[in-house]
Structure 1
């Protein structure tokens, strides 16, 4: 993905092999005081469709994405092991794009800065 500016999220439920459609997420900038930057649910492609992906509201500083994994798996035969999964990262240049792919199961996850 080659975009200028913005924070994008993409999540895949690897237990089912499907994009994480319906996963609720929030993005906050934490300093100097917590500010909600974006919130929503991931679409059919597992991505967040929000103006933040194109740079709206992105400023330098420490940010945190909260992935609601426990709620995503609520009502399944397997009781959720994970609840709210935080991911903190620093936006050091708002002109750069910060792509955050996530892969998860009911028991674990992997997050990183993608391209």
Structure 2
């Protein structure tokens, strides 16, 4: 069984989970570029997590991935907290899974001006 990927998003400017943030997960091809269509795509739910069945399935294997966070749209949709035009539009995060049996937890903490991404311990 594969460990899967979990993605947790928090708007640290408000101290709240980023409900509605659009997130895409793409596999990277041999050339290092994202492959289309997206492996998983959706909006962050009320617990701050992208809840997509593919992320906890056998589709998550060793190899490269890119997660794209639509920060500019997130702030535009709310009409608050962001510059016009957006300082951050889409934030890409590329990483590699070397052991698909492990779980990869990816916390994304952000404001309209900056972000933090890392592999968490959950």
Q: TM-score, normalised by structure 1?
A: 0.89
- Work out whether residues 25 and 66 of structure 2, in 8 Å CA contact, stay in contact via their aligned partners in 1: yes
Q: What is the correspondence of 1:1-115 to structure 2 with a 5 Å cutoff?
A: 5-32=3-30, 34-35=35-36, 36-74=38-76, 75-76=79-80, 78-79=82-83, 80-115=86-121
- Partner deviation per Cα, 1:28-71 (whole Å, 9 max, x = no partner): 11123714211000001110111133234112111000000000
RMSD value, Cα? 1.5
Runs of 5+ in structure 1 lacking a partner? none
| Runs of 4+ off more than 3 Å | none
How many residue pairs get aligned? The number is 112
CA distance in structure 2 between the partners assigned to 1:37 and 1:67 by the alignment = 14
- Work out whether residues 69 and 82 of structure 1, in 8 Å CA contact, stay in contact via their aligned partners in 2: yes
1:77 Cα offset (Å): 5.5
- Work out whether residues 24 and 42 of structure 1, in 8 Å CA contact, stay in contact via their aligned partners in 2: yes
Runs of 5+ in structure 2 lacking a partner? none
